[in-house]
Chain A
Amino acid sequence: MKADANPNLGDIQALHLLPRWVTSAPSQDTDSATFSSGAALALLDVVVRDPSGILPAGLLRDRLALEAAAACLKLEGRFESPSDIRDAVCLARAGDALGPAGEMFVRWRKIARVNLSVFSWLAQVRKLLPDRVAEDLLELGAFDGSPVAQAAGVLADALQRFPREEAAALMLADVALARAVGWERPVPILAAHLNRADVRAIADGAGDARLRVDQAMIDACDAAIRNAADLSRRAARLNAIAPKLRTKGAGDALVLFLGHDAVSPSGMLSPMIQGTTFAMTDRAARRLCDRLVDLDVVRELTGRSTFRLYGV
């Protein structure tokens, strides 16, 4: 019990930053950018593979999916902030249309949950893409080289064929990257680190797409590693207080917190804890969330007094 309550923070802190020699690569030198992006990805790979079992990987992918969705909406000329997107998804009831922001997040979330190690992964990815992109998918797969080269190749090819389907192209690039590295599920990292000018330039075939992807990859790995370290610490604290919770169903509730960017007490914990058949009253759900905030292991994300959403 003592070991559980006091997780090995040494492991958690071992990799929370990229070394400066990786992040400070001269920005326009293609050779060193290529080298540094590979080094950054190798370090992220260690974090994602998580040998010590401390990373809440589902939560990390969900948070990154939210960032990717916000970035893609921006590319499409829409203005929704991450909290707008979160609201659209968390406050919708079964059967409600989600609107463009909510739909974008749900697509990214589903992409980040595709299990790439099963035979049907391609069919699952295809279902999440617009028809015309999905139809062309077979031809998109054939790129050689390092993982970053494959992701850059897929991205450039998809953007050049479908210049208005940025989100789909970025999803395919993250899928290609995860496949090449051998991750079980895609980690949405590229979208949030390529700006509109980068994406347009790659779509127009202007300049060196690989250099842009290398630079984005270094930033993306840096951000993902920090994010992973932060979430690992928070998850360790959450797991450490778990035995203190006497609410029935608290264990199932914590599983939700460790897999979702945000949890809505009224939608996801009551009347039934999502994914289970465990009934929880509205009041019990709100009390559990308040208790988790008091214990400082969960944050209220909206700042509102009603329709509150909570996250690790």
Chain B
Amino acid sequence: MAGDAFDRELEDLPPDLRWREWMGRIEAVIFGSASPIPRSDLARVVGQGASVDLLIEDIQAELTGRPYELVAVADGWLMRTRVRFADAIRTAADVNEQLMDLNEFEVAVLAAIAYHQPLTRDGLKDIFGKDISRDLIGRLRTQELIATGPRSPRAGAPYTYLTTQKFLVTFGMESLRDLPDREGLQDAGLVS
């Protein structure tokens, strides 16, 4: 079907059926994609005056009690299984590659970068008290969880590292605001 023939408005349908069809379209578009779908893309498959937010809320309400959910991450929406089914999924299938297989220390390095970005390897060394290997940084880069940022104003102008959109998506965050705040970390004894 040509793009301009796509019927967004669905004026032939009565309002309630029209709404259901719009909900269906949005759910299908999100279901069919492995990466988050931005609002502007969703708005293209529903009527001009329709609120994407309200449609999403209605879909979310219908998914209550299902093992998967529709969540806002980074700059769009994504469908994913609920966290409490993680063990079941891991037991049944080998999904290590998808889960990136990060060890505890790698997650700690990632967290340090998330809080202190832009951060250099020297900066990481100051935080952890030991050298962070280029291999580890390389692994996080290959997985696209971090990327290089501006050079640091120090001798040799080392690269800084930043977290990426994929980092946000992987950890289920909409923005860096969803990082636990400093007080919360202090209470948990993770930083002093």
Interface residues of A (CB under 8 A from B): 76-79, 87-88, 91-93, 96-102, 130-132, 135, 164, 302, 304, 306-307
In the complex, what's the smallest C-beta–C-beta distance from B95 to chain A, in angstroms? Answer: 29
Q: A76-B177, A88-B118 are in contact. Are A97 and B155 (CB under 8 A)?
A: no
Question: Bound state CA distance, A107 and B116, in angstroms?
Answer: 20
Contacting pair A131 B150 (CB below 8 A): no
Contacting pair A88 B155 (CB below 8 A): no
Contacting pair A92 B38 (CB below 8 A): no
How many of chain B's residues have a CB under 8 angstroms from any CB in A? 29
Contacting pair B148 A96 (CB below 8 A): yes
Q: A131-B40, A131-B75, A164-B177 are in contact. Are A99 and B150 (CB under 8 A)?
A: yes
Chain A: which residue is nearest B52 at the CB level?
Answer: A135
107-143 of chain B: CB within 8 A of chain A = 116-118
Question: Bound state CA distance, A99 and B116, in angstroms?
Answer: 10
Q: Would you call B151 an interface residue if the criterion is a C-beta within 8 Å of the partner chain's C-beta atoms? A: yes
Chain A: which residue is nearest B53 at the CB level?
Answer: A132
**What B residues does A304 contact at CB under 8 A?**
153
Question: Bound state CA distance, A219 and B95, in angstroms?
Answer: 56
Chain A: which residue is nearest B76 at the CB level?
Answer: A131
Contacting pair B153 A307 (CB below 8 A): yes
Contacting pair B162 A99 (CB below 8 A): yes
Q: A77-B181, A100-B117, A100-B176 are in contact. Are A91 and B151 (CB under 8 A)?
A: yes
In the complex, what's the smallest C-beta–C-beta distance from B174 to chain A, in angstroms? Answer: 8
Q: Would you call B82 an interface residue if the criterion is a C-beta within 8 Å of the partner chain's C-beta atoms? A: no
Question: Bound state CA distance, A93 and B150, in angstroms?
Answer: 7
List the 9 closest A-B pairs by CB distance, nearest first. Answer: A307-B153, A92-B150, A99-B118, A91-B150, A131-B39, A77-B181, A99-B162, A99-B149, A99-B117
Question: Bound state CA distance, A92 and B75, in angstroms?
Answer: 23
Question: Bound state CA distance, A76 and B117, in angstroms?
Answer: 14
Question: Bound state CA distance, A164 and B175, in angstroms?
Answer: 10
Contacting pair A98 B182 (CB below 8 A): no
**What are 13 contact pairs spanning A and B, CB under 8 A?**
A77-B179, A77-B182, A88-B118, A91-B150, A93-B150, A97-B148, A97-B164, A98-B149, A98-B150, A99-B150, A100-B176, A131-B75, A304-B153
**What A residues does B155 contact at CB under 8 A?**
306
In the complex, what's the smallest C-beta–C-beta distance from A74 to chain B, in angstroms? Answer: 11
In the complex, what's the smallest C-beta–C-beta distance from A231 to chain B, in angstroms? Answer: 25
**What B residues does A98 contact at CB under 8 A?**
149-150
Chain A: which residue is nearest B177 at the CB level?
Answer: A76
Chain A: which residue is nearest B153 at the CB level?
Answer: A307
In the complex, what's the smallest C-beta–C-beta distance from B155 to chain A, in angstroms? Answer: 7
34-93 of chain B: CB within 8 A of chain A = 38-40, 43, 52-53, 75
Q: A77-B181, A100-B176 are in contact. Are A131 and B148 (CB under 8 A)?
A: no
Question: Bound state CA distance, A97 and B118, in angstroms?
Answer: 10
**What A residues does B179 contact at CB under 8 A?**
77
Known: A76-B177, A97-B148, A97-B164. 13 other contacts (CB 8 A): A87-B153, A88-B149, A96-B148, A97-B162, A98-B150, A99-B160, A100-B117, A131-B38, A132-B39, A132-B53, A135-B52, A164-B175, A306-B155
